[in-house]
A and B are shown apart, each in its own frame.
Chain A
Amino acid sequence: MPWTKILAENNKLIDTDIDGDKKAGREITYREALLEAQDQLLANDSKVFVYGEGVDDAGSIFGSTKGLHEKYGIKRVFDTPLSESALTGVAVGAALAGMRPILVHMRMDFLLLTLDQIINHAAIWHYSFSGQIKVPVIIRCIVGRGWGSGPQHSQSLEALLYHVPGLRVYMPATPYDAKGLMMEAVKDGHPTIFIEHRWLYDKKGQVPEAPYSVEKGKGRVVVEGSDVTIVATSLMVHESATAVKKLAEEGIKAELIDLRTIKPLDEDIILKSVAKTGKLVVTDYGWHTGGVASSISCMVSEKGFSSLRKPVKRVTCPDIPTPTAHNLEAAYYPSADDVANAVRELCS
C-alpha cells in the first residue's frame, strides 16, 4: 500500500553495508530476491503455487510477486477473496494432498485471523500423527511501519509464532537470505512463517542467480567484536549495524549477530559470542514482554550464566499498541541510538 512506500523511500536506515555471505557478482534488492526465489520455485517444482490478496495486481505485494501470474498462469498464482482463515486451511489441505503452497499477507496483522489454522492445525499435524505426514506450507507476511500505519497495520508478531512448537519462523534481513531461506522453507517441508519487513524491500545485496538455500537455525556473525554481543533479526540487524559503527568510533568493539531464523534458533552462535564478550544486548521489533528477546535472554541465563558479566539488556518496542501520531510513532520504534545506548550502559 502506498502509504508505507512514502516512508520506505525516504528512510535512511537501510543504507548499511551488511550483505549476504557470498560475493555473487550481482546486486539485487530484497524485493527482487523474493520474486526470484518464488519464480525459480514455481519453475522447478510443479507442486508450488503462490496465492494471496493482491498477488496479481499492479502493486503485486510491493513488487515481490510481479509478473508471476502472467508467467505461470492464474491457476498457480492467484488473487483470493478476503477470507484469510479459510485460505490458510486451504493451504494446509493442499499441502496434505501433496502441494507446496505459498500464501502471502500484505500485513502480518492479517495473519491474526488465521491463527487457528496455523497453531491448531498446521503446527500440530506432523507431531500428532507421529510423523506420518508433513505440512509444507509457507506463509509470507510483511511487517509494516510508518506513515501512521497505526495499531492494525504494523505489528511484528514473531513472538506469538515463536512460542508455538511445530512451526518454523524465518526473518531474513538481507536479499541473500530472503532468497535462500525461501528456498530452504520449501525444501524443508514444514510449516514456515516467513516474516519480511517492509522497510527492507529496497535494500540491495549480493544474490547468486542460481537457486541455493540458506541453512535454517544458523545465525551469522555480521561484524566481529570482543566487547559486547548484539543479537538482532530483520530490520533490527540494520539498525544494530548502524549502532556498531557509531560504537566503533567510541572504541567499543561490538559483535553483531543476525539470527536469520528464530525457529530453529542458533543458540550456539549466541552462547559462543557471549562466552567471548560477557555482555549481551538482544533486540527485536516485538513488544518487550514475552518477546523473542526475552526468551533469548532467558536461554543465555540458563545456558551461559557463567559467561555473563552484566545483566542482559533488551531493546524492543514498548508494551503498547503502535500509536499513529507521527511523533509518538517515531519514538515508539527501537532505533540504532537505542541499541547504542544499551551497549554504552553495559560497557561503562
Chain B
Amino acid sequence: MLTKENKLNMFSTAYRIRRLEEKICEVYGKQEIKTPVHLYIGEEAIATGVSQNLVKEDLIFSTHRSHGHYLAKGGNLKNMVAEFYGKENGCAGGKGGSMHLIDVEAGIPGSTAIVGGGIPIATGAALALQLKGTDKVAVAYFGDGAADEGVLQESMNFAGLKNLPIIFVCENNFYATNSFQMKRHADDNIYKRGECYKVPGELVDGNDVEAVYHTAKKAIERARRGEGPSLIEAKTYRWKGHVGPDEDTNLGHRTNEELEGWKQRCPIKLYREKLFKEGVLDEGSYQNLKREIDNEVEEAFEFAYKSNDVPMENMYKHLF
C-alpha cells in the first residue's frame, strides 16, 4: 500500500525533474550550458515509479537521457546542474556533461551515452550484488532504440542464466532520434523479448506514476528474493526533440497532433489530478510543494553559476 507520504514523495520527484528541465529550456538559449541536453519531459513517471522502490545501495545505470533517472534515485541536484555548466563542482568534475552523470553515494555509478552501453554494465553490477550476497538490485534504463542492440539480448540471456537481480527498464517513447519504433522493429513486442531467456516481461503505461510503481515493485521484490531478472516496457513519449530544448514536429517524422495527444496525458498533470481527487494534495499544499521545489531548482542553478570553472590542471588529473 502506498502511503500518503509515498505518494507525495513521488509527486515531488516527478515535479522536480520537470521543473529542472523547464529551467534548462529557459536558460539554454544563453549558450552558457555548453553541452547537449536530452530532455526527459513527458517521461518523468518512469524513473519516479521505479525509484520509489529503490534504496541507496541499489544501483542504476542510465543513458544519454539521464537527468530523470539521476534525480529520482537521489542524485545531487546542485552538482548535476554544475555539471551542465562544466564547473569544478559538477558531479563529474566538469569532465562528463549532461550525458555522463554520476553520484556514487546515491547508487549511480555513472551514465553512458553509447546506446545500449549501460545494459551489460548493469548486468555486471547485478552479478556483483549477487556475488556479495546482498538483496540489492541493479536497474538498467534504456530506450526503444537501445532495444535494437544485440547486447540487450546477450545481457538478458546472461541475467536469466545466472538468475541475476536486475530489472531491465525499457522506456519506449517510440522514437530513437527521429526514427519511429516500427521503422526499426519487426514486431511491437519489446516486453516479450526476454521470455526465451527466463526474463519475464511486463508492459506498463509509462505515463502513470503508480502503475509504474506497482509493476516495478513486483519485479524488484522478485529480484530481491533471488528469483531473477525482469523486463519492463514502459510506453511513454518525449515532448522535446531528441536533443535540446525545442520541439521538433516541424521535422516531419512526427505530427503535432501526436505530440498534443500525449501532452494531454502529461504524467505530472495526471498524477496531480489523481492526488487531488484522493485528497492527498489540495491547492494549498500543491502550491507550497511547488514553491519549495522551484526554489530548490533556482538555488541549484545559482550554485552552478557561482561555482568555479574547472581548473586547467584538472585536465591531466585522474590519468594513470
Out of A85, A112, A148, A318, name the residue touching B150 (CB < 8 Å): A85
Contact of B243 with A153 in the complex, beta carbons under 8 Å:
no
Whether A152 sits at the interface, judged by CB under 8 Å, is: yes
Contact partners of A326 in chain B: CB under 8 A: 34, 86
CA of A323 to CA of B309 in the docked complex: distance in angstroms?
13
Distance to closest chain A CB from B318 (angstroms): 9
Contact partners of A331 in chain B: CB under 8 A: 312, 315
Contact partners of B252 in chain A: CB under 8 A: 57-58
Distance to closest chain B CB from A168 (angstroms): 26
Beta-carbon contacts under 8 Å, A57-89 to B: 57-59, 79-86
Beta-carbon contacts under 8 Å, B75-97 to A: 86-87, 90, 92, 94-97
Given contacts A147-B36, A153-B113, A324-B35, contact A57 B312 (CB under 8 A): no
Given contacts A1-B36, A58-B252, A82-B184, contact A150 B310 (CB under 8 A): no
Chain A window 132-156, contacts with chain B (Cβ cutoff 8 Å), 1 for yes, 0 for no = 0000000000000001111111000
CA of A84 to CA of B90 in the docked complex: distance in angstroms?
32
Whether A109 sits at the interface, judged by CB under 8 Å, is: yes
Nearest-CB residue, chain B, relative to A147: B34
Whether B31 sits at the interface, judged by CB under 8 Å, is: yes
Contact of B178 with A148 in the complex, beta carbons under 8 Å:
no
Given contacts A58-B178, A150-B99, contact A325 B87 (CB under 8 A): yes
A6, A53, A148, A151 interface centre (most CB from chain B within 10 Å): A148
Number of A-B contacts (CB under 8 A): 125
Whether B177 sits at the interface, judged by CB under 8 Å, is: yes
Contact of B86 with A325 in the complex, beta carbons under 8 Å:
yes
Contact partners of A80 in chain B: CB under 8 A: 184
Beta-carbon contacts under 8 Å, A85-122 to B: 85-86, 109-110, 112-113
Whether B179 sits at the interface, judged by CB under 8 Å, is: yes
Contact of A79 with B179 in the complex, beta carbons under 8 Å:
yes
Beta-carbon contacts under 8 Å, B277-320 to A: 309-310, 312, 314-316, 319
Contact of B94 with A59 in the complex, beta carbons under 8 Å:
no
Contact of A320 with B183 in the complex, beta carbons under 8 Å:
no
Whether B253 sits at the interface, judged by CB under 8 Å, is: yes
Distance to closest chain B CB from A142 (angstroms): 14
Out of B35, B242, B251, B314, name the residue touching A148 (CB < 8 Å): B35
Contact partners of B242 in chain A: CB under 8 A: 1
Distance to closest chain B CB from A236 (angstroms): 20
CA of A86 to CA of B116 in the docked complex: distance in angstroms?
14
Distance to closest chain A CB from B275 (angstroms): 37
Contact partners of B34 in chain A: CB under 8 A: 147-148, 326
Contact of B319 with A3 in the complex, beta carbons under 8 Å:
no
Contact of A150 with B253 in the complex, beta carbons under 8 Å:
no
Out of A53, A82, A327, name the residue touching B146 (CB < 8 Å): A82
Whether B148 sits at the interface, judged by CB under 8 Å, is: yes
Contact of A324 with B94 in the complex, beta carbons under 8 Å:
yes
Nearest-CB residue, chain A, relative to B96: A324
Whether A328 sits at the interface, judged by CB under 8 Å, is: yes
Distance to closest chain A CB from B31 (angstroms): 7
Out of A6, A54, A113, A320, name the residue touching B315 (CB < 8 Å): A320
Beta-carbon contacts under 8 Å, B246-279 to A: 251-253
Whether B218 sits at the interface, judged by CB under 8 Å, is: no
Nearest-CB residue, chain A, relative to B35: A148
Out of B148, B177, B243, name the residue touching A81 (CB < 8 Å): B148
Contact of A328 with B148 in the complex, beta carbons under 8 Å:
no
Contact of B178 with A82 in the complex, beta carbons under 8 Å:
no
Contact of B253 with A82 in the complex, beta carbons under 8 Å:
no
Whether A131 sits at the interface, judged by CB under 8 Å, is: no
- 23 A-B pairs within 8 Å (CB atoms) are namely A1-B177, A3-B36, A53-B176, A57-B177, A57-B251, A58-B252, A58-B253, A79-B183, A81-B148, A85-B150, A113-B149, A148-B36, A148-B97, A150-B97, A152-B99, A152-B114, A318-B316, A321-B95, A324-B97, A325-B309, A325-B310, A328-B312, A328-B315
Q: Residues of A at under 8 Å CB distance from B?
A: 1-3, 6, 53-54, 57-59, 79-86, 109-110, 112-113, 147-153, 318-321, 323-328, 331-332
Q: Residues of B at under 8 Å CB distance from A?
A: 31, 34-36, 86-87, 90, 92, 94-100, 112-116, 145-146, 148-150, 176-179, 183-185, 242-244, 251-253, 309-310, 312, 314-316, 319
Please provide the 6 A-B residue pairs with the shortest distance between their CB atoms, ordered closest to farther.
A148-B35, A325-B86, A81-B148, A324-B97, A325-B94, A58-B251
